[in-house]
Amino acid sequence: MGSKMGLIVCSLIIMVTLLKGATAKQYVAGDSFGWTIPPNTSFYSDWANSKTFQIGDDILFKWNGTWTHNVAKVSSRVEYESCAKPGLVFLSGISHVLTNNGSYFFVCTVDNHCDLGMKMIVTVGSPTNVSAINDLSSASSSSFGSLVATLLSTIIVSLFTYV
Ligand SMILES: [Cu+2]
């Protein structure tokens, strides 16, 4: 009896894993254009707006050369608008998994590339939930504050989902 139950649980876990694997999509930032200085400042917003991102999807950032560009995540819309330069940057070939509902703010911190439009907002989930998350995220800038904001927004998202 016990082993049968275990078998059912095992099968369920495998099924869920397969289902998740089957639905998660990988997007290449900018598609064939890649991640580089765009022809206009709305290029990457237009690109992101043309997609429907879901939790589990990931975005691959690729460009030619090594230090010609980079990709960094900033934690708020304010930092995004002001082209903040966080210390942690990633090189070509990095893929960012979208693990939560909300907005992800990506920038290139090389020279003035961000000001030239090399930045992108990726949004997962419905706009209602997203605006709640943005308000929480911009309320605090410390990493602990962000963590609390993330936890709170997760709870809020859960409420939206289950109520
Ligand atoms: Cu760049």
Distance 94 CA to ligand 1 centre (A): 14
Q: What is the pLDDT of residues 120-129, one digit of tens each?
A: 999 998 654 4
Beta bridge partners of 123: 103
Q: What is the pLDDT of residues 12-32, one digit of tens each?
A: 655 655 555 558 999 999 999
At 4, is the pLDDT very low, low, confident or very high (cuts 50, 70, 90)? confident
Residue 38: CB partners within 8 Å, gap ≥ 6?
30, 44, 116, 117, 118
List the domain boundaries for the chain.
25-125
Distance 158 CA to ligand 1 centre (A): 36
Contact 62, 28 (CB under 8 A): yes
- Indicate the fold that domain 25-125 takes in CATH: Immunoglobulin-like (2.60.40)
Distance 37 CA to ligand 1 centre (A): 6
User: Which tokens go with 117?
Assistant: 């439009």
Q: What is the pLDDT of residues 49-95, one digit of tens each?
A: 999 999 999 999 999 999 999 999 999 999 999 999 999 999 999 99
